[in-house]
Amino acid sequence: MTEPEPKTFDLIFQSRASARGKMRNDINVTWPAMGESFDLPTDEGGFHGGDGTAPPPLAYFTAALTGCVMTQIRAFAKRLKIEVEALDLQVNLHWRGEQKGQEPYQSMPVGFQIDIRLESPQSVEERINLIEHAILGCFIEQSLSKEFEVIHRLWVEDHWITI
Amino acid sequence: MTEPEPKTFDLIFQSRASARGKMRNDINVTWPAMGESFDLPTDEGGFHGGDGTAPPPLAYFTAALTGCVMTQIRAFAKRLKIEVEALDLQVNLHWRGEQKGQEPYQSMPVGFQIDIRLESPQSVEERINLIEHAILGCFIEQSLSKEFEVIHRLWVEDHWITI
């Protein structure tokens, strides 16, 4: 049997956004291929000069990365015939800013950690295989720099295994 | 006068999330240092096996990147004494998936484009300087891989300038 030819598909998301008020951004996101549209405004709290009318951008980013990994775990579980009885994540995203005097600061990622509790009747090896596929299939993870560490851990019985 | 010592600060966002229903993820994001908490669930539409009860993860990602750049443009405009009369962005994020047969697919970024309309009485050079600082200060941009192109363009009179 010959190896099947790989097929590719394109995925495009777009936004149109306007800055309004102090720090609020009115952002409309579209997924043209699906005809879907989402209003996802951002704002900053009072400490950063905003009015706190919406989440800050990094809150959306945190939800996006968390949700991306979880969604691919469940989508690929079906293809790999792995039963997911429960799936819970804890994610910790750590950045640093560096500033000289009153100049604009420069930002850099320090490390991201994604802790996964995946209850399943399948073996630890099969669950790790599923998570590895989910990481490769997660569009956000694959867009991240390789210059900082993204740690993934799976809870097994009474301890964490780093994947 | 001696160069001021750079100061650093840490920025940490966290999430706790549970998979519920078909493809919905209930995600709570916290910004511990600010004591802020945001419920940001994700879901997929019917085409991807979900119930469409919330935006998909990539919609949040698109809003996050858009809002991050806009927020830093406005935050740093104050420090650089640049007046922002109007700020509008159009963002296009392009990924590709590659799949063999029914195996889980692999994903990769193709290219991101961020088009900026920044009305200001300041010169083009000052506006470009502001945008360059905003890119360096945007935590999300600085977390992205250098292996694909993120294009930034500024609209000037009647044409785009690539920054």
* A37: contact with B, CB 8 A cutoff: no
The H or E element spanning position B30 is strand B24-31
Retrieve residue B10's tokens: 């840490």
Contact B113, B136 (CB under 8 A): no
d(CA A106, CA A95): 11
Contact B63, A15 (CB under 8 A): yes
pLDDT at B100: 86
CB contact under 8 A, A104 and B80: yes
Q: Write out pLDDT tens, residues B75-102.
A: 999 999 999 999 999 999 999 999 988 8
* B117: contact with A, CB 8 A cutoff: no
- HSE, side-chain direction, 13 A CA sphere, residue B101: 7
Q: Which amino acid type is present at position B120?
A: S
d(CA A129, CA A132): 5
Q: Write out pLDDT tens, residues A111-145.
A: 999 999 999 999 999 999 999 999 999 999 999 99
- Chain B residues within an 8 Å CB radius of A13: 58-59, 61-62, 93
Q: What one-character-per-residue DSSP string does B127-145 give?
A: HHHHHHHHHHH-TTGGGB-
> Mean pLDDT for chain B?
95
Report residue B2's pLDDT band, with 50, 70 and 90 as the boundaries.
low
Report residue A20's pLDDT band, with 50, 70 and 90 as the boundaries.
confident
CA distances from A105 to A96, B4, B15, B34, B146 (A): 10, 13, 25, 19, 20
Give residue A39's Cα distance to chain centre. 19
Mean pLDDT of the A144-163 span: 96
CB contact under 8 A, A93 and B48: no
Retrieve residue B65's tokens: 């990147």
> Mean pLDDT for chain A?
95
d(CA A88, CA A105): 35
Eight-class DSSP state of A138: -
Q: Could you report how far apart the first and last alpha carbons of chain B are, in Å?
A: 32
Mean pLDDT of the B104-121 span: 97
Answer whether residue A103 shows pLDDT above 90: no
Q: Write out pLDDT tens, residues B9-58.
A: 999 999 999 997 899 999 999 999 999 999 999 999 998 999 999 999 99
d(CA A127, CA B20): 19
pLDDT at B5: 79
Write out residues 68-97 of A within 8 Å (CB-CB) of B.
68, 70-76, 79-80, 84, 86-97
How many separate helices (H) and strands (E) can be counted in chain A? 2, 7
pLDDT at A100: 86
Mean pLDDT of the A133-159 span: 97
Retrieve residue A88's tokens: 């819970």
Report residue A21's pLDDT band, with 50, 70 and 90 as the boundaries.
confident
CB contact under 8 A, A139 and B95: yes
- Chain A residues within an 8 Å CB radius of B86: 18-19
CB contact under 8 A, B145 and A148: no
CB contact under 8 A, A143 and B142: no
Contact B57, B23 (CB under 8 A): no
What ipTM describes this predicted complex? 0.96
Answer whether residue A1 shows pLDDT above 60: no
Retrieve residue A112's tokens: 């991201």
